[in-house]
Amino acid sequence: MAEPVAGSHPDVGHVLVKVQEDLQELKEKISHITIHGEATAVDIQTLETAIRRTEMGLKNHAAEYLNVINKQVLTLPAVEYRNMPADHISAAPLPVSKIMKRPVAYPPLSKKHHGIQLWNAPQHASPGTQHKHAMDMRILHDPTNAKNRAFLHENYGIQLPVIKNEIPEAPLQKLIKGSTVGTLAILPASHREDPTLLPPFVSEKDAKKGILSLIERGLIPPASDLTVDPPFVQHRAAKIHDIEDKYKKPAAEVFGTYPKNAYCIIVSESYTDEPKHVDKKPSTRLPLKMGIVTPTPSFMSKSSAKDISAVQHLLGKEVVPFEFQQPQQFQVLPVNRHLEYSQAYYLTIFNGKIDYTAADVLAFKQHYQLHWGHILSFLEYFEKKLTEYDVPIAVVEGQKLPAFSVVFELNSRPKWEDLLPVLKNKDFVAELVKRPGQQYKGPGGVEIAATRIQAMWRQYQSRTAYLLVCRQKWAAGVISISWLMRAQRVRMKKTLKQSRRRHLENFHSRAKHLAANWNRIKASRRTIIHIPSLGYAQSLRSSVPDIDTQQNLQMGRLCDIRDDHISVIYICPLWIGEDVTQYYMKLLGLQEAVKTGIPEKVVDMGDRLKVMTPETNHHLCLATHLKYSPKTIKRIKNLIEGKAAYIVGGLLHKDDLAVADMLNVPILGPEPEVAHLYSTKSGGKRIFASACVPMPPGEYDIYSLQQMHEVLTQLILENLEIKRWLFKVDVEFGGRGTAYFDVLHLKCYKEILKELRQVGPTEWLKKKWIREPAELELSNELPGILAEHAQPANKKIFPTWEKFLQLFLCQGGVVEAYPPSDSVTNLTVDMLIEPTGEVSMISCGDQLHSKSLLECWGSTVPQSSVDPGNLHSVCVKIAEACKSRGVMGFFSIDLVTFIHPHTMEQQVWATDLDLAYSDQLAMTQLMLFISNGKLICKTNTFEVPPKPTEKKRKRRRKESTMKEESQIQLSFMKRYGVLSTQLKHTNLSMVQYSVLFKIFKAHGIGFDIKERLGTVFILHEDNKKDRLGMVTIGDDLQGALLTFARNLSVIHQEISAPNVQLENNFQAAIKDIETILGVTIVNKSKAKEDYATAALEALT
């Protein structure tokens, strides 16, 4: 008999199996009963019938119970078939109390699931029925049978996956040696020689080789027109698929390892055709959050909350909740797979555990026996990871395990990114493990989480303390380094101050020595070291394009060797090349030819002329280059050793003093600080004011916008005749930092002029209260008009007024009046203050302007616009003021002259002062060298020696008399020169200098040594070659200007391409010269008329 059920909640499945075992044991005992003696007769047949009836009842109840759970017919094995392999028997008994909490009313079986009980067929069935049962049993036990899947689906509702049969391996065949290709027929030789013969016969064997083979062998002529019957391409109607097929979802696959009698939860999309009898109550609805505890076969069906509840009772554990992105349905069904289900080897891990006794796992182990050690280590690690993250199910693809296990041996702690590719359901697992806190939901997760929190807190504390220590250490390092750097900087500053103080003291001592011995040095042989450095600030030098070329515009300094007692060392800021060096050597070698007037007398000047280039070049001024060029310094020392020498610089820099200290030579120039102070626009105004020379109305040292507005307002009211006002930045040079403003743009200007006429100029200037209303109105209007109408002169450097104003207020500047005349002439006068204090004017010229009246591109020497005596007195006053401030050496003064419209008298204003060697002076030295002349600035004359006479035999007396008369010569001849160093044309860079001089020769451009007339060129460098210097000398100013303009026109026509606009100032210079020539002609005609009138008055 069956043993009593132990416990309050027995397992139903265990009870059913136990009852069947007890019945089987009772049946066997009854069959072996033997009656001894006179015992009462026992009705054994009746007992067997009762046992059979009980057994049939148990079968029916078990089938109905499983039908409730799985909605299909499943029966327990009959007692007679106990020896069959029972894959349905559960490995672990389930307690009955978890299911049978209350009586369950089992619904009747549907017609579809009233399948045939194969292993419990009734004994009274007919022979036909028994044969059908036998056939069904055979189909059920044969998975390879074509009707197996349909039979299970129709009778039991089980949808098995489609498994493709592997192609059986073909048995190895015996290798046969020898040729496997027979001989093929080819085109006979007669047919190859005579193409007119008919093609040979083609056998069926040859035809089977293909058309291409027949053509290659020549059996078919290559040019034959072949028709294949039937054709290779068969035309038929294309199949058009239904658009709905695109959205049909493929059937899911069944994979994984399933334990015996396991239940699967199938996750599928919600159906729209649910049965109407499904319970709609909220209490029976399935929640959207459900855990997967078993693999997901491909069979899709519906389930109810009652099925899920039953499964939860069967499993004896709660289902792990998780969220789905879409509404899902679940199905629970038992899995009964064949041992040889699939050869894909999918291993399913339930709740971090693998059933290593499962048949497919054993088959997988047998297949990968050689790799099993690596695979087992990997699977154990994988189980551990899945258990830690409480992953309910993971399906591992067995084919990928060998490769991943080898990598696992190399990397013993792989990450999830390395593990996920092994999984079939990697998307589900990846989504699960990425959830926050998922790693702490496994066994011991609370302890792990607590440990993790404590570790993080300790790490945070340690990290905070460590960062604090690091920050303190970093701060201490920064403080110490800053202190060391500051101490080093202080020491360096102290050293530099001492060095510069020493340089300055040595500069003063050498200047005193130079002044004491200047007369002796002038009369003896000496060496002049020319350093044409522009010692401006770094910010200004960086804004000057081609600063090295700009410093090399004074190559005319080389012409100092026209004095036989002078040797020249010229420091060139850039490499000038071999061609340029040879040109200057040949040009300066004409010294004797110029003096004697004989072109054949050419001498070598290599021993008196040295051109050197410093070895460093880092966008610094030339003096700094030379300071950090020890090789050049050493070479200069060797050249000047034991000789009298001094330095003639440009705009002096502090490094000029260092170079002079290295060479131990004096500098013919002022202190660098003095030079920079009085070379500014405001510094020049101070010199002019102290010299009491005429200056344009204006104000200097302006550093704020309010100050500029106030000053300009007062200047406009006090000088209403001035139509234009100029703004000049202190530190700029060459007309770069200049802007202008026309007062005609002021709306109140005409009203102010009316008030001036009513009051009168004298009362207007004396009584300030009269100007107060006009001043108030002007001060309100001026800021807006300035912002709108003020214009910078150089648009390339300052494209807008705002840019100019920003630099103007930062560096400081001056506001001054522009001459109130339509005819304005600018002059440049070069002065020399010798160390002994003697002042001399060494050059003077009228400036030439092209695009703007504020930018100069050349000059005419000597000047012819101002009375020489008046000009000389003004310049001497300025020189005396400079000498009183310690200025020595070369400097230049810019002046402007015009006819005042009210007084009709000529006025001269001093506008600018530059304490440096000027470009005009360098070009003047070249002009004097090539003409062997001298410039007398007191009389504004440029005198050259007369043309030398030729001595010939006197054949006749008449000819002798004519020769004697021709020998009566003047002591000198007057000449005029036009000078320029700022000629620029971009096409010059495309022409070699040798070709350029051939062009000059072809057009007759050159210099006549005998007549002291012609043109000489200055080459600045040999790299870009877009700049050129030129000097023309003529009998009169008009002739020199004409020659200059003709040369520019010839060069422009020869090097310019048609319809190509390139950057040049040739055409603007030509136009300016044409304007000057027109004025010159008018002035000459007026002079003739005045002379005739004066003569007539004298006669009268």
pLDDT at 518 over 50: yes
**pLDDT higher than 70, residue 154:** yes
Residues 389/390/394/398 CA torsion (nearest 10 deg): 60
CA distance 258 to 266: 14
* Angle 701-707-711 from CA coordinates, rounded to 5°: 85
Checking if the pLDDT of 293 tops 50, the result is no
At 266-286, the pLDDT tens digits run 333 333 333 334 343 333 333
pLDDT band at 249 (very low <50, low <70, confident <90, very high): low
Residues 6 or more apart in contact with residue 475 via CB below 8 angstroms: none
Q: What percent of the chain has pLDDT over 90?
A: 37
**How high does pLDDT run on average in the chain?**
78
SS3 label, residue 1056: coil
Does the pLDDT value for residue 205 go beyond 50? yes
Is it the case that residue 235 has pLDDT exceeding 90?
no
The Cα 878–Cα 880 span in angstroms is 5
Q: Where is pLDDT greater, at 806 or 1092?
A: 806
pLDDT, tens digit (0-9, with 9 covering 90-100), for 935-962:
998 888 999 988 766 554 444 555 555 5
Q: pLDDT, tens digit, for every residue of 828-843?
A: 999 999 999 999 999 9
**Where would I find the beta strands (DSSP E) of 447-584?**
526-534, 566-571
The per-residue pLDDT for 303 is 35
Q: Output the DSSP codes for 566-635.
A: EEEEEE-SS--HHHHHHHHHHHHTTHHHHHHS-TT-----TTTEEEE--S--SS--HHHHHHT-HHHHHH
The better pLDDT of the pair 63, 789 is held by 789
Lowest pLDDT segment from 543-552, 641-650, 800-809, 1011-1020: 543-552
pLDDT level of residue 893 (50, 70, 90 thresholds): very high
Residue type, 941: T
Report pLDDT for 14.
64
- Which tops the pLDDT comparison, 260 or 449? 449
pLDDT at 899 over 80: yes
Query: Would you state the pLDDT for residue 15?
Result: 67
Inter-residue contact 859 to 841 (CB < 8 Å): no
Choose the weakest-confidence range: 145-154, 420-429, 773-782. Answer: 145-154
pLDDT band at 216 (very low <50, low <70, confident <90, very high): confident
Q: What's residue 979's pLDDT?
A: 94
Asked if residue 153 lies in contact with residue 300, where contact means CB atoms within 8 angstroms, the answer is no
Q: Is the pLDDT of residue 1019 over 50?
A: yes
Summarised one tens digit per residue, pLDDT across range 665-695 is: 999 999 999 999 999 999 999 999 999 999 9
* Res 911 pLDDT > 80: yes
- Residues contacting 1060, CB < 8 A, separation 6+: none
Q: Which region among 94-98, 123-127, 888-892 has the lowest average model confidence (pLDDT)? A: 94-98
Quick check: helix, strand or coil at residue 342? coil
Angle at 551 between CA 872 and CA 915, to 5 degrees: 30
Band (pLDDT 50/70/90 cuts) for residue 19 is confident
Q: What is the pLDDT of residue 215?
A: 80
- The pLDDT-based confidence of 23 (bands split at 50, 70, 90) is confident
Residues 238-258 have a mean pLDDT of 62
Taking residues 640-664, report their average pLDDT.
93
Pick from 47-56, 500-509, 538-547, 586-595 the range whose average pLDDT is largest. Answer: 500-509
pLDDT band of residue 140 (cuts 50, 70, 90) is confident
Q: Evaluate the CA torsion angle 743, 746, 752, 757 in order and state its sign.
A: positive
Please report the DSSP string for 25-49 in residue order.
HHHHHHHT----SSPPP--HHHHHH
Residue 33's pLDDT band (cuts 50, 70, 90): low
pLDDT of 210 reads: 76
pLDDT digit string, tens, across residues 87-121: 443 333 344 333 333 333 434 434 333 443 434 44
* Top-confidence range, 24-38, 405-419, 503-517, 1075-1089: 503-517
pLDDT at 166 exceeding the cut of 70: no
Question: What is the spatial order of strands in the sheet that 645-651 belongs to?
Answer: 609-612, 566-571, 526-534, 645-651
| Mean pLDDT across 552-575 | 92
Three-state SS for 1027?
strand
Q: Which tops the pLDDT comparison, 23 or 1032?
A: 1032
pLDDT tens-digit series, residues 381-407: 888 888 888 888 899 888 888 888 877
pLDDT class of 234 with cuts at 50, 70, 90: confident
pLDDT band at 13 (very low <50, low <70, confident <90, very high): low
From 936, 938, 853, 930, select the one nearest 896 (Cα to Cα): 853
Q: What is the reported pLDDT for 185?
A: 75
Instruction: Please give the residue that has the higher pLDDT: either 38 or 360.
Output: 360
Could you read off the pLDDT of 306-318 as tens digits, one per residue?
Answer: 333 433 443 343 4
**Confidence (pLDDT) at 60:** 73
Rounded Cα distance, 334 and 158, in Å: 10
pLDDT at 70 over 60: no
- Provide the pLDDT confidence category of residue 167 given band limits of 50, 70 and 90: low
- What pLDDT was estimated at residue 374? 84
Report percent pLDDT > 70 for the chain.
75
b/e per residue, 541-571, with b = 16+ CB within 10 A?
A: beebeebbbbbbbbbbbbbbbbeeeebbbbb
- Say whether pLDDT at 377 is over 70: yes
Q: Is the pLDDT of residue 657 over 90?
A: yes
Angle at 336 (CA atoms; ends 333, 337), nearest 5 degrees: 130
